[in-house]
Amino acid sequence: MEFIQHYVPTSKAQLLQVAMYYHGGNMEKAQEMFDFYNKNLELPDFDPVEPSIMQQVKQTAGGLFNWIKTNQGDLITGYQYIQQLIQNHGVLPTIATDTEQTAEPLPEINV
């Protein structure tokens, strides 16, 4: 009885299967239980099929390539920034954007 109190059905087929199991194969009682639980629920007939591993890989790769395509300019700017940082031996380079002017580099501090 405790199982039924915490049971959350995901499809009509699963609900009917649980009702049949709970009532030991008694079709009349299982149908009554199914009708009682199903009357106010919007359940699909069957559980959705999980995508195969290949379909999951395709979806993930497609999402990654779309993200790269969308953010291509930012990625190139970041790559150029890192290149300049390496070439300047740790001195932070300035990157110009469309909305702001680049400032003159600060003179080196001699200690």
**For position 37, what pLDDT does the model report?**
81
81 vs 17: CA distance, rounded Å: 60
pLDDT tens over the chain, length 111 residues: 566 667 777 888 988 888 888 888 889 998 898 888 888 788 888 888 888 999 999 999 999 999 999 999 999 999 998 888 888 776 665 655 555 556 677 788 876
CA dihedral of 40, 44, 45, 51, whole degrees rounded to 10: -160
Backbone angles phi, psi at 110, to 5 degrees: -90, 120
To the question of pTM greater than 0.85 for the whole model, the response is no
| Domain residue extents for the chain | 2-38, 53-87
Helix, strand, or coil (residue 45)? coil
**For position 65, what pLDDT does the model report?**
93
